[in-house]
Structure 1
Amino acid sequence: MTPNRRTFLSAGAVVALVPSTGRAEPESKVAKPGQTKNTKFAVNIEMWWRKERDYLKRLEAAAALGFNAVELWPWENKDQNAVAETCERLGIKIVQFTAWGFKPGLNDPKNHNQFVEKIEKGCEVAKKWKCSMMCVVAGDDIKDVPQEKMHENVIEGLKKGAPIAQKHGITLILEPMNIRVDHKGHCLYGSAPTLKIVKEVNSKYVKILWDLYHMHITEGDLCGHLREGFAADMVGYIQLADHPGRNEPGTGEIHYPRVLKELKALEYTGYVGLECTPLGTEEAAAQAVYAADNW
């Protein structure tokens, strides 16, 4: 099973990498593949270096490959001060982390008070980490509750969280999933309903975490839908992984050089999160990312 944030948040397991030879190797290697030519990448240190239990050493490993930015999942299982100090020493930026996961669901009003409390606490962590974005998740389907009603509940919850985010200068990024492969039974998937939710919330501090892997599985036409998201000014952050496998670019069917070119044409200057599991070594995965961005 491909490791993902759901299994991580529920079990906290550390999954070993499985070597494979399915990737096309770059023609030539570079010393610091994290120092890419066109796109700024933030490596996900939950899915990379999974054998290493010490998150501070994962930060060291990211810096050694030339990455100057990372993304995280929950903050609760980490030494906040040690992470902040290590990032400062290494010159690494934390771009975003998960402030509200799959359970309890934001799509259930009974959880909204807890959501508000978690957003307040998350904002304090974000300021300590000099981080400007926090990921929030809508939640899994609720029995006998129509999807439209669940989405209305998500809107209501985000409207309660938005003023807190605004007070702290933090942007909440709502992530739709895919229900075909990774998150069966999740209530939010695809760009159209997510755009509708964020439009209804109507806050510049609530945007979309546009995960290209999830969007590809759900609806395809990555560049076309990206243009719609940017035209609506609702894209806050981008993530990627190839499909099938949720590994680095070049291991599946998505032609990422073309998609990354589209992001540049859309004048996206933010980071792209590497929320993917390296198929082999992290160094080889970083070389593949560098190759995908070398155009």
Structure 2
Amino acid sequence: MKKVNSRRKAVKQMLAAGAGIALAPTAGFAAEKSAASITMKGNINHSVCRWTYGHLSLDQLCVVAKEIGIKAIDLVGPKEWDVLKKHGLDSSMCNGAEINLVQGFNNTTYHQKLIENYAAMIPLVAKAGYKNLICFSGNRDGMDDETGLQNSVIGLKKILGLAEKHGVILTMELLNSRVDHKDYMCDRSTWGIELCKRLGSENFKLLYDIYHMQIDEGDIIRSIKSNHLYYGHYHTAGNPGRHELDENQELNYPAIMRAIHATGFKGYVAQEFIPTATDKIASLRNAVTLCDI
């Protein structure tokens, strides 16, 4: 995977445009698009991350999602919520309040800007009828874990009351620091869970990214079973490579989905792999079919 395809760059581009700009129609879209839809079993609520299908406009991705049986799109900001509503799709994980992935709540330097951003965004999320709003710990930059926890509690508590008032769940993503996001602090479920405990609010959860946590700690199914009360959202991708959920990667996604379902989880599982196949829509359809247990 070339670095130009990295999530960091994609997210940065979306933020610069106010949480995402629809790309121009793609010439190959008609060839990829298929009218065949999947009959869903209803055990998993499926979503897809917008940035991984950046070769499609948001309108095009919505059409594809509806055909496949996907109910929502992840990581879409307020400037494009009207597109989702036009297609009858949910914004399963809103974005646009964060500064970026590396400047987060663990560093008091960024608190003023983050608090301003989230204080403005939380009411917008609620007004639109959405629930989840993403946030990030930020990088360590030489900081120890305990200081990062203390700083995160200080910053998040300043907006958590507003989130509770509006019924919005602030959701911090777990990202691996070994391969993709060097120096990121919230790189282990234990750190994120401790932050949840210190905040003590149902309006703060973790985004458990299965791909990322496979890299940094493994033991995925045990973690889901033991810690699911702290997990408010899930992301998928094949490991190694962050590509399709196929025979070239090591995660047993049907078993993982069964574990998620067994916890009583009613939120969304979003596909966040970077497709490499010629028929990228088929890759998405195959991943959803595999995860629809």
TM range (shorter): 0.7 to 0.9
Q: What is the aligned counterpart of 1:31 among 13, 33, 36?
A: 36
The whole-number CA distance in structure 1 between the counterparts of 2:39 and 2:85 is 18
Match of 1:245 in 2: 241
Whether 2:46 is the aligned partner of 1:41: answer yes
Q: What is the aligned counterpart of 1:214 among 209, 212, 215?
A: 212
Whether 2:238 is the aligned partner of 1:235: answer no
The whole-number CA distance in structure 2 between the counterparts of 1:105 and 1:133 is 17
Q: What is the aligned counterpart of 2:91 among 67, 91, 94?
A: 94
Secondary structure in 2 matching 1:46: helix
The letter of the residue matching 2:61 is: R
1:95-110 map, 5 Å = 95-98=92-95, 99-100=97-98, 101-110=100-109
Whether 2:5 is the aligned partner of 1:6: answer no
The whole-number CA distance in structure 1 between the counterparts of 2:6 and 2:127 is 26
Cα offsets for 1:70-127 (capped at 9, x unmatched):
1115x2xx634xx32x323322111112232324332111221211111122223313
**Contiguous gaps of at least 5 residues in structure 2:** 17-22, 24-33
**Does the Cα contact within 8 Å between 2:50 and 2:75 map onto a contact in 1?**
yes
Shift of residue 37, structure 1, vs aligned partner: 5.2
| Change over 3 Å in CA distance of 1:286–1:51 after alignment to 2 | closer
The whole-number CA distance in structure 1 between the counterparts of 2:130 and 2:292 is 28
Cα offsets for 1:1-47 (capped at 9, x unmatched):
36343222335598xxxxxxxxxxxxxx9921484553211111111
Cα offsets for 1:40-77 (capped at 9, x unmatched):
111111112x223x33333233223332211115x2xx
The whole-number CA distance in structure 2 between the counterparts of 1:10 and 1:269 is 30
Match of 2:223 in 1: 225
1:137-286 map, 5 Å = 137-143=136-142, 145-230=143-228, 233-250=229-246, 251-280=248-277, 281-286=279-284
**Does the Cα contact within 8 Å between 1:208 and 1:236 map onto a contact in 2?**
yes
The letter of the residue matching 1:196 is: E
Cα offsets for 1:256-295 (capped at 9, x unmatched):
0111111111111211011221232332112322431355
Secondary structure in 2 matching 1:208: strand
The whole-number CA distance in structure 2 between the counterparts of 1:168 and 1:206 is 13
Cα offsets for 1:185-226 (capped at 9, x unmatched):
112211111100111011111011111111111111101111
**Does the Cα contact within 8 Å between 1:65 and 1:283 map onto a contact in 2?**
no
**Does the Cα contact within 8 Å between 2:176 and 2:213 map onto a contact in 1?**
yes
CA RMSD in angstroms comes to 2.4
Whether 2:124 is the aligned partner of 1:125: answer yes
The whole-number CA distance in structure 1 between the counterparts of 2:182 and 2:288 is 32
Give TM-score scaled by structure 2 length. 0.84
Whether 2:55 is the aligned partner of 1:51: answer yes
| Change over 3 Å in CA distance of 1:290–1:71 after alignment to 2 | closer
**Does the Cα contact within 8 Å between 1:43 and 1:71 map onto a contact in 2?**
yes
After TM superposition, the structure 1 stretch with the greater mean CA deviation from structure 2, 30-39 or 204-213, is: 30-39
Give TM-score scaled by structure 1 length. 0.83
After TM superposition, the structure 1 stretch with the greater mean CA deviation from structure 2, 56-65 or 188-197, is: 56-65
**Does the Cα contact within 8 Å between 2:103 and 2:137 map onto a contact in 1?**
no
Query: Which is bigger in relative contact order (C-alpha 8 A, separation at least 6)?
Result: 1
* Larger proportion of helix: 2
**Contiguous gaps of at least 5 residues in structure 1:** 15-28
Cα offsets for 1:159-183 (capped at 9, x unmatched):
1121121121100011121011100
Tell me the percent identity: 24
The letter of the residue matching 2:12 is: S
Paired residues in the alignment total 271
The whole-number CA distance in structure 2 between the counterparts of 1:190 and 1:236 is 16
**Does the Cα contact within 8 Å between 1:34 and 1:68 map onto a contact in 2?**
no
